Amino acid sequence: MSGTSKEPNVLTQLFNTFFGKHWPVWVGGIVLGTLNVILFAIKSPWGASGGINNWGENLLSAVGLLHPEHISPVNTNLYGMLCILIVLGSFVGALFSKEFALRVPPVGELIKGIIGGAIMAVGATVGIGCTIGSFFSGVPALSGGAIIFTIGLFIGVIIALRYLIWEMDRFPSWSTGKSYNFLAVKPNKGTWQIVLGWIMVAFIIGLAYIYNGSNITMSWFIIIGGLMGMISQRSRFCIVKAFRDPFMSGESHGAVGVMAGLLVGLVGFTAIKLFGIGAGETAIRAREMTWVFPHFWGKAAIGGLIFGIGMTIAGGCAVGTLWRVGEGQIKLWLAAIAFVIVSPLSNLFIVPAIDKLLPQGMKYKNFLPDYIGYDGAFVLVLAIILIWYVFVKWNEKTGRFSAF
């Protein structure tokens, strides 16, 4: 019919479905949980702080502050590469949706990014993991230490929120002022972002292909890392949001999204461990103990508390920091840089000091099925998730524990 606009073809419609608007967080959580199970089936679950620490070790080694002999190059380290691909995948998602821009907040926010990133590095090294390794993967791995780490996260978030509210009330000028955006485009312009996005997709596929002949596990980590970054960016998946928002604004969507991912991981991880999937007859126990770290209960509590404070001040958890780096948020660039630099230094100086203070009974591996069986461990974790869900939904309705 003349005078009517041409309807987009089916491929354009499909592209717009994924990149025309943001996804519900629960969709992102389910997909990320599924990809996490696939990572475990291939090798081992999702982790972020270990990869960031690997970046830091290589950086400090390059400038002569660390000895390189015991440091794996980033291009051979599964988690170092996984973290890089999360950034690149987020970059692709931001480009395809024309959301990429260099966003420079006021100076006070930049300073908080640096401080928060440094604090997260200390928390991750002390607690042997971050919001991904010791929470999003650790809890479904049926680790008792992961549950303690999670409690520490909640307490840390509440402490940091109280500080931020106090700061806004007493010193509002610290984080206010002019902000800047560079390279932002309007919806009907900026075709260069989509073109660059396709170039990055070709680069990621080419990189996976290069490793395919010599290290197929790395190829899978590259592809899955890219998908994780893109999905996190499109769904705004962020664990600090899940912990912070119920106590700040009362909003529960971020928390529900994380819970959805935890439930998928719980089912998948339990099956892998219970049936020894991916393990030989002599390695079943090692498979069971995957992602069960020697941090129960003291190290997990201290690490979780510190990490919770840091991520709230920075405004991004481990994965939230990485995907926000990919979409151009400069505050989180500074948080990531601080995390990278401080992490290996904390491993060298802070962690040994804490280990000397804590008795062995406060830093051992606690695998819940060893105490209450697989059935009991599964039900316990499921009950914790359901109680959390009921709480955030009730609080969203009543505002009982919300700051605003």
**pLDDT over threshold 50, residue 213:** yes
Task: Look up tokens 């990014």; give the residue.
Answer: 113
Distance from C-alpha of 67 to C-alpha of 22, rounded to nearest angstrom: 44
What pairs with residue 103 in β-bridges?
181, 329
pLDDT at 404: 60
For the record, the structure tokens of 119 come out as 């604090």
pLDDT at 1: 43
Query: What integer is the mean pLDDT of 351-357?
Result: 97
How does 215-226 read in b/e, with b if 16+ C-beta sit within 10 Å? beebbbbbbbbb
Task: For residue range 216-271, list pLDDT tens digits in order.
Answer: 999 999 999 999 999 999 999 999 999 999 999 999 999 999 999 999 999 999 99
Query: What integer is the mean pLDDT of 322-340?
Result: 98
**pLDDT over threshold 60, residue 119:** yes
Query: What integer is the mean pLDDT of 375-385?
Result: 98
For the record, the structure tokens of 244 come out as 């912070």
Task: For residue range 75-88, list pLDDT tens digits in order.
Answer: 999 999 999 999 99
What pairs with residue 364 in β-bridges?
296
**pLDDT over threshold 80, residue 35:** yes
Cis before 26? omega within 30: no
pLDDT at 38: 98
How many CB atoms sit inside 10 A of residue 205's CB? Answer: 14
Residues in the chain: 404
Pair 82, 221: CB distance under 8 Å:
yes
For the record, the structure tokens of 129 come out as 């993991």
Distance from C-alpha of 50 to C-alpha of 166, rounded to nearest angstrom: 33
Query: What integer is the mean pLDDT of 363-387?
Result: 98
**pLDDT over threshold 60, residue 4:** no
pTM: 0.96
Phi first, then psi, for residue 379 (nearest 5°) are: -65, -40
Task: For residue range 146-195, list pLDDT tens digits in order.
Answer: 999 999 999 999 999 999 999 999 999 998 989 999 999 998 899 999 99
Give the Å distances, CA to CA, from 379 to 154, 265, 366: 21, 14, 17
Q: What percent of the chain has pLDDT over 70?
A: 98
Task: For residue range 297-329, list pLDDT tens digits in order.
Answer: 999 999 999 999 999 999 999 999 999 999 999
Distance from C-alpha of 359 to C-alpha of 35, rounded to nearest angstrom: 37
Distance from C-alpha of 153 to C-alpha of 134, rounded to nearest angstrom: 10
